[in-house]
Amino acid sequence: MGTNYYTKENECKHCGRHEEIHLGKSSFGWQFSFQYNSGKYYKNVKEMKKWLKSKVIKDEYGATVSYEYFWKMVKAKQTKENQNHVEYMMKENPNYEREYIIDGYSFSDCEFS
């Protein structure tokens, strides 16, 4: 079981329409898995931290999560005891091209939930 995290981009001030950006997922026993989003918003964790600083982060249940809590949770998940999604996928299919390890973090450019 896991929890997905999202933010908004390009929100219309008049009608509220927006683009929902999937940030990634926290799952029990796994390191945090980031959604790469084709590198459109960020290409690594450092860029993501800067981009996300002024955004509202929500979990899949609609609860707002603070920037500080989000990054504390991500850091807590980065242990050797927790599996890395990309390493797991590469064992299953070494030619898989849409999973990346960037600066030690798992990023996926595939849609997942």
Query: 12 in a domain, yes or no?
Result: yes
Cβ atoms of residues 37 and 22 within 8 Å: yes
- pLDDT: which is higher, 96 or 74: 74
Q: Is the pTM of this model over 0.85?
A: yes
Q: Check residue 90 and give left, alpha or beta (phi > 0: left; psi -120 to 50: alpha).
A: alpha
The answer to whether residue 100 sits within a structural domain is yes
d(Cα 96, Cα 80) in Å, to the nearest integer? 23
Q: Which domain holds residue 67?
A: 2-108
Residue 113 lies in a domain: no
Give the total number of structural domains in the chain.
1
The answer to whether the CB of 67 falls within 8 A of the CB of 81 is no
pLDDT of residue 95: 67
